[in-house]
Structure 1
Amino acid sequence: MLEVILPDGSKKEFDHAVTPMEVAADIGPGLAKATLAGEIDGQVVGFDTKLPEEGSVNLRLLTKKDEEALGVMRHSCAHIMARAVMRLFDGVQLAFGPTIEGGFYYDFDLEHKLSEEDFPAIEAEMKKIIKEDEPFERIERSREESLQVVKDLGQQYKIEHIETGLKDHASMSFYQQGEFIDLCRGPHIPRPKAIGAYKILSVAGAYWKGDSNNRQLQRLYATAFFNKEDLEAHLTKIEEAKRRDHRVLGKQLDLFSINPLVGQGLILWSPKGTIVRNLLTEFVGEQLKKFEYLPVVTPNIGKVDLYKISGHYPYYKDSQFAPIHQAEDEEYLLKPMNCPHHIMIYKSRPRSYRELPYRLSEFGTVYRYEQSGELNGMTRVRGFTQDDAHIFCTDEQVEDEFRKCIQMTQYVLSSLGLTDYRVRLGFRDPDSGKYVGKEAVWDAAEAALVRVCKNMGITATAEAGEAAFYGPKADFVVNDCLGREWQLGTVQLDYNLPSAERFDLEYIGKDNQPHRPVMIHRAPFGSLERFMGVLIEHFAGAFPLWLAPEQVRILTVSQKFDEYAQKVEKELLAAGFRVSGDYRPEKIGAKIRAAQLELIPYMFIIGGREMEEEAVSVRDRIDGDLGSMKIPEAIEKLKEEVANRVVRQVFKGSSGLGTSGTATISEGY
């Protein structure tokens, strides 16, 4: 007998195997018609998934009202798109078609080079398929039968995947819709009529299984929604994201560049970008002094043996640059992490409990060999600088130190207007072998993180499998002004690197006996490159006054006011502002437009009246003309805004125009 527990607490019993759809039909025909998928004990499954024949399960029936159903529908739409492509073009080889954030994609291998000109025809064919409303049917086959199916279909990538990627699977599933059949674990919606609106977004190149040594495929990106209104809102959001693209704005505003001769994923910070970077590091530096961190500097390389002891070399080997071989069998590695170097500073001499907590900080540059297809401007790079720190403390000090790290990260984010975030606790996946250390140590560390968050009133979600290999962590997942999530600051708890099996760290306690310290890894920004990329997009390049590379631009109505304008410029420079003057023989409207496009926070306009009154006409990038002010008054206004780190953000477009707000501190196989 099977007991099905529904979300309202009601129960249904069945003496035979049933599916979510059959449970829905048992409740009523209306619910059966609306049901698209199910959720069994928290796991999303297909409408046709067989529930256990005995025991008890919690079942939620998913309809268009449920967010989880959207992903299931999009996966079905990916199959419809693939089916449409196969109808329109000859010799199509199918790869993978998973859902992703905001939509889905499908990878194809075909002779025809897909382009935007093909999108209308593909979408029209998708419309026909949806109108035909043929059901999605799941087919289970043994390994041998599955291999024969894909061979009969002539799908070479599916053959290779069954023979290699699924070599341990005794059986597998296909989904069929009309003439289209694809190797897929699902789930799918019952019929395509639930798809309300869809749009093909772009085409790009992608390597088979993400390996640059494999054949390059063509990837179609698309999205789908249950109604046209949601699709239109999403497309508007995409257009806004394009306007805020940090790669485009970084070039337009001369903040950074990437040169192929230097290397992919290696950032060249321009003078203006470096100003912002230095301001960010100075800002964090203030907090480091407040919390009594000790600054250190470590090399950009280290012997491979160091990273073998830490575990970084075997665990991160695939994403590291190859070792550098030297004479006498010495091997060096571009530094993938700062922590082993900080550990060796701690270990450079005996330590006493009186020195703890011992807090080391460094803006340390590290290197990871990310795949070229994963690189993305500043947000995914091969060389980046972490605002890194490591705290060595006693067991009794752990929770207080962890709390202070959380508070520092909260302060840093709030000072930049990044107040919409969630805290994700990354715990160990018990079924994974990538973690080091004893189970009891992990349990104690995870419990400590939960206590800290609870005592601070932080609602944190725990996710298994998101821990660092050496310990659990708390990640700050930030929503930008478009609602996109970015994982930025992190605080990690580590009982393993100090252990006897790793670096065997000690301190002499009050009892004059050796004890093992605990490590805390902490980085409020995460990395300066990624943080900068996120800030550019969040602010659309329009940085708040305290962060702007150029804070004020002086504009003269005509050249006869240049002498007075240069005097004002010197006064602003003496007051500590980053300022320049536009003394070109251009009309004032053109000068204002240029400053606006360059996203300068304030413009001081100078004409005859301003010179006569020893004042300036102040123009705000966001609010427009603020009227005439005496120079001391204008300087005081700007000083106050900088001192309070006021964030006045533009929410519409990236041109500096619009409304503002103010803030202070599942895929297939």
Structure 2
Amino acid sequence: MSDVRVIIQRDSEREERVVTTGTTAADLFAGERTVIAARVDGELRDLAYAPGDGESVEPVDISSEDGLNILRHSTAHVMAQAVQELFPEAKLGIGPPVKGGFYYDFDVAEPFTPEDLKRVEKKMQEIQKRGQRFSRRVTTDEDARVELADEPYKLELIGLKGNAAQAADGADAEVGGGELTIYDNLDAKTGELCWKDLCRGPHLPTTRNIPAFKLMRSAAAYWRGSEKNPQLQRIYGTAWPSKEELKAHLEFLAEAEKRDHRKLGTELDLFSFPDELGPGLAVFHPKGGVVRKEMETYSRRRHEDAGYEFVNTPHISKEQLFETSGHLPNYAEGMFPPIEFDGQNYRLKAMNCPMHNLIFKGRGRSYRELPLRLFEFGTVYRYEKSGVVHGLTRSRGFTQDDSHIYCTKEQMPQELDSLLTFVLDLLRDYGLNQFELELSTRDPESDKFIGEDAEWEEATEALRQAAEKQGLPLVPDPGGAAYYGPKISVQARDAIGRSWQMSTIQVDFQQPKRFGLEYTAADGSRQQPVMIHRALFGSIERFFAVLLEHYAGAFPAWLAPVQAVGIPIGDAHVSYLQEFAADAKARGLRVEVDASSDRMQKKIRNHQKAKVPFMIIVGDEDMNAGTVSFRYRDGSQENGIAREDAIAKLLDVVERRVQV
């Protein structure tokens, strides 16, 4: 047999090795138990692949991003096999890996029950122990149609142009130049076929390579995400490289569930989503209104100090406005349908920028006015499909803290520097401290993006330079730009390590051009301003949800609906505490007194559940001495504090915006 030369690539290390023709990637990495696939000349391959002469081979570890996707996609296949063994009439949809796990869609007569999921998981464990081998084979459209004649959804995928059929199952890279492939699950001993699926792969060598998995839940899902298609049943699961990592993930999910803003919003009486309003439309209750007011008040003050001017715009406008801005041609699916009256179509406002352009255009502008920073708490309405609406984080009506800055090209670099610093500093004031930045650029192959190449290059480079000055990780996001310009997104980590997209900053040369915006330059010429879009919170509602989950409902005192509650030991102490509360309220503090008939210990428990930062406890000794006792969230207590000192202590914590 002849020999071939392969190149083993490990990070920056490169090793040339001469091996016998037919040597597989599994042979190259024999003994490396965590290697479950290979990347050959940039393409993911099964370990059964035999590299050709001169090909570069990189091991894929099960804990890497690619490795986790392969593990989870393989586990999805095992789940689908288990479902069809238990429910032979089930028809297969798609089963991709997703962040944190996987899913598979099935067409079944009845929705899956929790008991069904337990049976499926048990069957999966049996298949995992069998050690079935994942085996890839190339097929043709015609042969695949014969083999999968009983799978209508797979037949539909085969009919899609190019490799879309295989892309639909969640694999990332094209394999074999667009070959159509099927993966067989083969018996470990006899090699007999146990199950098969149309799939791009790659997969683990065998089902025994799945270390740990768990099924999580089931839900309804439309085929290929369209409400026009049949509704299937989706089973979600998760898979990890070790039992320890699975356990840690489940603990993380349990903590995340405790922090779910929808659950806390109900428990703390902050907001609700009445059915009478419709999906994705929230009402804020008095306590939630306090938190929101404080968020907005502090933001407003910081913006005023930074030279922003506040504006207001209507919630509806003629449709033509969004034609001019380019939103209707590029964003119509995210807007509510037109409303016809007076012989014209109107639209609910989905974004504030077109109206801010009208404010700029409302009169002549001089270079001496620039940069002009317009700011609005502007309520907008977007049509989100009911399947993706999620509490306050994905809603149909929300208020953006929206700013549009108009400046000269010469001012743009400094404006971006100060703007990004302002954004990060303000987020830190609300208690978020871990950030990375994402630079979203255009896809040169897409016709979605408008404008000249040179304009995009200039705008992108200006954003890149501003981002790099912050000294934070900068992650590329190719193709993620808005249709009119590139953007920087601030990604913030919360208390349990989840990443949330917060502020966005976009450089736009296109809308000023489309609206004919001009200013008079120093030399008397008419020039087009640069427009910078900026939403700091993203939306008030979404930021409210992020903070609620970040703090697990225990807001710092400056944001808390009730900053302190007076707990009288007996009825005789109520009036004393009411006087204390009145003095505190006169100083701008939010202090209440619990004069209910409940016993003191029950009152303490109730307000601990309500996550009130401070409890002010008073008995005979305090009342006679003119003092109070402080009880903190952690249960510790500080006794004998003079009333004025207690108010000063509360004021200090509130003004410093610290968590206690």
TM-score, structure 2 as length reference? 0.92
Contact 2:566 2:591 (8 Å CA) reproduced: yes
Q: Deviations over 1:277-334 (max 9, x none)?
A: 1111111112211211111101111221111121111211112111112232x11111
Aligned counterpart for 2:427 among listed residues 390, 401, 413: 413
* SS across alignment from 1:372: coil
Distance 2:600 2:161 in 1: 65
Q: How much has 1:524 moved relative to structure 2?
A: 1.4
Q: How much has 1:164 moved relative to structure 2?
A: 4.7
Aligned counterpart for 1:477 among listed residues 476, 491, 503: 491
Distance 1:191 1:602 in 2: 57
Aligned counterpart for 2:640 among listed residues 612, 621, 628: 628
Alignment of 1:315-326 (within 5 A): 315-326=330-341
* SS across alignment from 2:510: coil
Q: Deviations over 1:365-391 (max 9, x none)?
A: 111111101011111101111110000
| 1:231 aligned onto 2:246 | yes
| 1:373 aligned onto 2:354 | no
Aligned counterpart for 1:162 among listed residues 158, 164, 169: 158
Q: How much has 1:235 moved relative to structure 2?
A: 0.8
Contact 1:558 1:585 (8 Å CA) reproduced: no
Q: How much has 1:631 moved relative to structure 2?
A: 1.0
Q: Which residue of 2 aligns with 1:86?
A: 84
| 1:530 aligned onto 2:542 | yes
Greater RCO, CA 8 A, separation 6+: 1
Q: Which residue of 1 aligns with 2:183?
A: 175
* SS across alignment from 1:395: coil
Q: Which residue of 2 aligns with 1:612?
A: 624
Q: Deviations over 1:194-219 (max 9, x none)?
A: 21111111111212222223222211
Q: Which residue of 1 aligns with 2:507?
A: 493
Q: Deviations over 1:325-382 (max 9, x none)?
A: 2232x11111111111101111111211111101100011111111101011111101
Q: Which amino acid aligns with 1:306?
A: L
Q: Which residue of 2 aligns with 1:30?
A: 31
Contact 1:141 1:172 (8 Å CA) reproduced: yes
Q: How much has 1:23 moved relative to structure 2?
A: 4.4
Distance 2:15 2:595 in 1: 79
Q: Residues 266 and 166 from structure 1, CA distance in 2 versus in 1: closer, same or farther, beyond 3 angstroms?
A: farther
Number of matched pairs: 637
Q: Which residue of 2 aligns with 1:150?
A: 148
Distance 1:42 1:525 in 2: 39
Q: Deviations over 1:157-186 (max 9, x none)?
A: 222233357697775222221322112222
Q: Deviations over 1:119-165 (max 9, x none)?
A: 322111111111111111222223333333322xx111222233357
Q: Which residue of 1 aligns with 2:574?
A: 562
Contact 1:210 1:373 (8 Å CA) reproduced: no
Aligned counterpart for 1:301 among listed residues 310, 313, 316: 316
Q: Deviations over 1:217-247 (max 9, x none)?
A: 2111111112111111111111111111111
Aligned counterpart for 1:544 among listed residues 556, 563, 568: 556
Contact 1:426 1:473 (8 Å CA) reproduced: yes
* SS across alignment from 1:386: strand
Distance 2:161 2:118 in 1: 34
Q: Which residue of 2 aligns with 1:350?
A: 364
Contact 1:394 1:517 (8 Å CA) reproduced: yes
Distance 2:20 2:325 in 1: 54
* SS across alignment from 2:196: strand
Q: Which residue of 2 aligns with 1:4?
A: 7
* SS across alignment from 1:36: strand
Q: How much has 1:455 moved relative to structure 2?
A: 2.6
Q: Residues 225 and 459 from structure 1, CA distance in 2 versus in 1: closer, same or farther, beyond 3 angstroms?
A: closer
Alignment of 1:198-277 (within 5 A): 198-277=213-292
Alignment of 1:569-648 (within 5 A): 569-648=581-660
Distance 1:218 1:63 in 2: 32
Q: How much has 1:248 moved relative to structure 2?
A: 0.9
Q: Deviations over 1:394-419 (max 9, x none)?
A: 11111111112211221122112211
Q: How much has 1:52 moved relative to structure 2?
A: 7.7
Distance 1:258 1:268 in 2: 6
Greater alpha carbon shift after TM alignment, 619-628 vs 271-280 = 619-628
Q: Which amino acid aligns with 1:176?
A: D
CA RMSD of aligned residues (A): 2.2
Distance 2:463 2:8 in 1: 32
* SS across alignment from 2:251: helix
TM-score, structure 1 as length reference? 0.91
| 1:186 aligned onto 2:201 | yes
Q: Which residue of 2 aligns with 1:402?
A: 416
Q: Residues 581 and 366 from structure 1, CA distance in 2 versus in 1: closer, same or farther, beyond 3 angstroms?
A: same
| 1:63 aligned onto 2:100 | no
Q: Residues 241 and 471 from structure 1, CA distance in 2 versus in 1: closer, same or farther, beyond 3 angstroms?
A: same
**Structure 2: gaps of 5 or more residues:** 166-177, 187-193
Q: Residues 40 and 490 from structure 1, CA distance in 2 versus in 1: closer, same or farther, beyond 3 angstroms?
A: farther
Contact 1:325 1:332 (8 Å CA) reproduced: yes
Identity %: 39
Q: Residues 626 and 172 from structure 1, CA distance in 2 versus in 1: closer, same or farther, beyond 3 angstroms?
A: farther
Contact 1:408 1:524 (8 Å CA) reproduced: no
* SS across alignment from 2:13: coil
* SS across alignment from 2:24: helix
Contact 2:420 2:466 (8 Å CA) reproduced: no
Q: Residues 311 and 3 from structure 1, CA distance in 2 versus in 1: closer, same or farther, beyond 3 angstroms?
A: farther
Q: How much has 1:43 moved relative to structure 2?
A: 6.2
Q: Residues 77 and 352 from structure 1, CA distance in 2 versus in 1: closer, same or farther, beyond 3 angstroms?
A: same
**Structure 1: gaps of 5 or more residues:** 649-669
Greater alpha carbon shift after TM alignment, 238-247 vs 188-197 = 188-197
Q: Which amino acid aligns with 2:35?
A: T
Q: How much has 1:468 moved relative to structure 2?
A: 1.1
Contact 1:427 1:467 (8 Å CA) reproduced: yes
* SS across alignment from 1:136: strand
Q: How much has 1:584 moved relative to structure 2?
A: 1.3
Distance 2:625 2:129 in 1: 73
* SS across alignment from 1:86: helix
Q: Which amino acid aligns with 2:293?
A: N
Q: How much has 1:520 moved relative to structure 2?
A: 0.6
Q: Which residue of 2 aligns with 1:662?
A: none
Contact 2:562 2:612 (8 Å CA) reproduced: yes
Distance 2:52 2:539 in 1: 47
Q: Deviations over 1:581-624 (max 9, x none)?
A: 11112211011011101111100011111110111111011352
Q: Which amino acid aligns with 1:155?
A: E
* SS across alignment from 2:88: coil
